[in-house]
Amino acid sequence: MRIFRILSASLLILSLGVNHLRAVTKTTRLSSATQIRTTDNNNDFTEREKNVVSIPTKGLFDGKGQVSIDLSKIHRGDWAYPMKNGKVISQFGRRGRRSHSGADIKTHAGDTIYAAFDGVVRFAKSYYGYGRVIVLRHSNGLETLYGHNSRNLVHIGDKVHAGQPIAIVGRTGRATTEHCHFEVRINGRAYNPMLFFDSETQQLRSRRFVAYSNGRLTHENVVPENQMAENKEK
């Protein structure tokens, strides 16, 4: 009986040791995979891209003087208004002696800020008057910026989806009230974000833009692809 008890105890210790080793191995593998993923994504951006808010998008105009950005091809689930039920309290353009490079969207302290499109986090930290700010780079040629955040929920190199929470509204930096300072940029240049979104309906505008390497931007209203398909069926 004593031998049986000793043998059972030995088997239990051995089993616990194996399970602990498996758990450690699994954790190590997960940690390594996470580190590799983060490092790989970080390497997609230069040090300057990770430390400067306004910077040209590498390769955007390579070999050509213009690029086309067609919002009508973006389906409903592939975009999101950055602040649900938010109200624009300050528009893009001149504001006294200063030039306002975005639109200020007012909500309540602690509200969530959402990614406008799928993309990758290029910048995520404090930056002068922006306070805590996030810049997302999107495959459609746009970059979007979200400033004065009380807390950033994502990090440089993270891949995000449209509508994903990326920050919490705040008043960090040069801000007098809680709001999201929202910008849309092409090749480092800021444009009126309400050319792209309708602040009244909080809908993405169905427009086709042509951005030129000299900074000029033109657009035309187009029928959304899904509406064109519905019209053909009729």
- pLDDT at position 99: 82
Which residues are within 8 A (CB) of 167 and not within 5 positions of it... i.e. 6 or more apart? 112, 113, 132, 134, 146, 149, 150, 151, 152, 153, 154, 180
- pLDDT at position 232: 55
d(CA 73, CA 225): 6
d(CA 24, CA 20): 6
Residues 60-94 have pLDDT tens digits of: 999 899 999 999 999 999 999 999 989 999 898 87
Taking residues 97-126, report their average pLDDT: 94
The lowest-confidence range among 13-27, 44-58, 94-108 is: 13-27
Taking residues 192-214, report their average pLDDT: 97
Split at pLDDT 50, 70, 90, the class of 225 is low
- Integer distance in angstroms from the first to the last C-alpha of the chain? 85
Identify the burial level of 133 via C-beta atoms within 10 angstroms of its C-beta, where 0-12 means exposed, 13-18 middle and 19 or more buried: buried
The lowest-confidence range among 123-132, 163-172, 222-231 is: 222-231
Count of Cβ atoms closer than 10 Å to residue 31 Cβ: 10
- pLDDT at position 228: 55
Residues 148-167 have pLDDT tens digits of: 999 999 999 999 999 999 99
Split at pLDDT 50, 70, 90, the class of 224 is confident
Helix (H) or strand (E) holding 17: helix 2-42
Q: Using the 8-state DSSP alphabet, how is residue 87 labeled?
A: E
Split at pLDDT 50, 70, 90, the class of 104 is very high
Of 17 and 83, the structure prediction assigns the larger pLDDT to 83
Tell whether the model's pLDDT for residue 40 goes beyond 60.
no
Split at pLDDT 50, 70, 90, the class of 115 is very high
Look up residue 9 and give its two tokens: 């105890």
d(CA 123, CA 152): 11
Across the chain, what does the average pLDDT equal? 83
Rg (CA), the chain: 24
